[in-house]
A and B are shown apart, each in its own frame.
Chain A
Amino acid sequence: MKKLVFLALVLSLFIVDTSDARKKKKKYEVIDVTNGGSITGTIKAASKVDDPVMKIETKKPDEVEFCGTEFQSNMYIISPDLGVKNVVVALLKVKQGKAMPEKDYVINNLKCQFEPLVGLAFKGNNFVIKNSDALFHNTNLGIQLKGGKKRAVYNLALPNLNQVLKKKIKTKGVHSIKCDAHPWMRAYVYSSDSPYAALTDDSGKFEITDIPAGTYKVLIWHEGFGEVKQEITVEAGQATTLDHTFSK
């Protein structure tokens, strides 16, 4: 009888334990990808879009001199045949595939701007944040969420010239970067939890390779045009085409 009671007690402990176990989500698994497929394509604009010029407003006299009063935003870099540069194309929720790139992502504060404007980072590596100006900068990086909301990831002070900070890339998705001291400064980094992400070049072209055959959800994101998600099926050893045209 006592054993039975004991058993019931032990059983009830297990029930408590399982509630903790469901918390962890499955992580990306590296496998040998043989005869993988690829996705290539071109992201275009329906028509030419003027690239806005942005204003610089500051009360500090030394900054007026150093930073200037306006700059080309480079939000819409569109080729003569309407290819759009700096579009992120990324496969979502990939469970397994080739190894993650081992490459840190550099965010440079240079002449009152972030460099680069848009880029790809891969989880597990580091953000390397540099201040190349003799000015106070802060790098306020956060995940862009639905409804224009933002979730802070790091907000770091870089008060001095040549300051370099290293921070682990722990979060995924489209991150926006801003400097509170210079509100016109902006940049975006897509942090991927799989190696299957690409950025379009000057002609709007991209390529993602060595993908295990299967059906995937793909994100196409651009600072000005916004984002779309769609499904794509990749076949072993085949190149699948993914083209998209953004319109404003």
Chain B
Amino acid sequence: MHQKQRKGFFVLSLLSLPILLIMTVMLTGAENAYGGNANGEEIYKINCAVCHGVKGDSKGEVCYNTNVEKSGKEITTYSRDFTLGVFKFRTTATGCLPDENDLKRIISTGIPKSFMPSFNDISPEEKMALIEYVESFSERWEEEDPCDVITTYMPNWVGKSYSVEKGKKIYQDMKCWECHGDKGDGAGPKADKLKDDWGHKMVPFDFTSGALKRGTAPEDIYITFTTGLDGTGMPSYEDTLGEDDRWHLVSYTLKLMGR
């Protein structure tokens, strides 16, 4: 009897130990919402702060990267200022916060033609902790409800010649050429004087260069037409163009890109 009681007590203390530990960690705030113990702040300071700044305001040591296009045009990209809570590459509508998977993807793949490298060596658990820390720089993440993620299903006719022809007409009608140029080389009549919300000079994408910052899959191009690139002059065509028309435009721009 006595023995049994002692055993029971032992089992209980064994069981309560992890619970106590979890509670202590929670109360001290080291635990993140995803149940992991990865320290987002630490990961941020080691990997991100050098460009994005300790306060997330993009005032790090190395803040920009200048890329010379084959046209000779210079494109300068700057590190994202997280305090604004504005992101270009989202799968959510214009004005929305990005989905967590959007941020996860950028961390994993990096952004070509910019200073943003791939951080694929960071474990999934650490990535989520890092994202949670990045979200703490803007009150938007606390104040706003998340937006729906826009799903894409590419029709099988994308890239077919009739779709390219339709896309060519849409490119004209939607006035894409005013910025991106008749030939898609980014030399339209509006191209010179564009500035983004951070006051930096904007260069409309030169499709003939073939390399998009977001990625060159047809789905990446489609989602940019749909969501626009917040903070820049690229508006959303979600309300202006039907889904099929946006895919026709993808067909045409793929051709411009030589893909």
Contact = CB atoms under 8 A, between A and B. Distances in A.
A112 B197 CA distance: 21
Contact of B19 (A8, A148, A171, A180): A8
Interface residues of A, number: 42
Interface stretch (A46-54, A156-164, A216-224): A156-164
Given A15-B26, A180-B232, 10 more contacts: A12-B19, A12-B26, A59-B190, A60-B178, A60-B190, A152-B95, A156-B94, A157-B236, A165-B240, A181-B190
B19 A154 contact: no
A23 interface: yes
21 contacts: A1-B11, A4-B12, A9-B19, A12-B23, A59-B192, A60-B178, A60-B189, A136-B174, A136-B178, A149-B81, A151-B85, A151-B197, A152-B230, A155-B228, A155-B230, A155-B236, A159-B240, A180-B235, A181-B175, A181-B233, A183-B195
A202 interface: no
A52 to B, nearest CB: 19
Interface string A133-151: 0001011101001001111
A16 B22 CA distance: 11
Given A15-B23, A152-B95, A140 B189 contact: no
B26 A16 contact: yes
Given A5-B15, A12-B19, A15-B26, A140 B233 contact: yes
A152 B236 CA distance: 12
Interface in A48-71: 57-60
Contacts of B84: 145, 149-151
Contacts of B121: none
Nearest to A141: B95
B12 A152 contact: no
A78 to B, nearest CB: 29
Identify the interface centre among B19, B140, B142, B239: most chain A CB within 10 Å of its CB. B239
List the 7 closest A-B pairs by CB distance, nearest first: A180-B233, A136-B175, A152-B230, A157-B235, A138-B235, A59-B189, A150-B197
A156 B236 contact: yes
B115 interface: no
Chain A, interface SS category: mixed
A220 B240 CA distance: 36
Given A151-B85, A156-B94, A142 B197 contact: yes
B122 interface: no
B2 interface: no
A46 B47 CA distance: 52
A159 B174 contact: yes
B173 interface: yes
A15 B237 CA distance: 43
Identify the interface centre among A59, A148, A159, A167: most chain B CB within 10 Å of its CB. A159
Contacts, number: 114
Contacts of A155: 94-95, 228-230, 232-236
Given A5-B16, A142-B197, A149-B84, A12 B174 contact: no
A12 B22 contact: yes
Given A138-B233, A152-B231, A23 B142 contact: yes
A157 B197 contact: no
A126 to B, nearest CB: 12
A145 B84 CA distance: 9
A22 to B, nearest CB: 9
Contact of A154 (B26, B95, B178): B95
A72 interface: no
A136 to B, nearest CB: 4
A230 interface: no
Interface string A117-129: 0000000000000
A59 B235 CA distance: 21
Interface in B198-237: 198-199, 228-237
Interface in B65-98: 81, 83-86, 94-95
Contacts of B8: 1
Contacts of B234: 155
Nearest to A135: B175
B194 interface: yes
Contacts of A163: 240
Given A142-B197, A151-B85, A156 B235 contact: yes
B237 A157 contact: yes
Nearest to A150: B197
A183 B15 CA distance: 66
A46 B143 CA distance: 39
A25 interface: yes
A217 B257 CA distance: 55
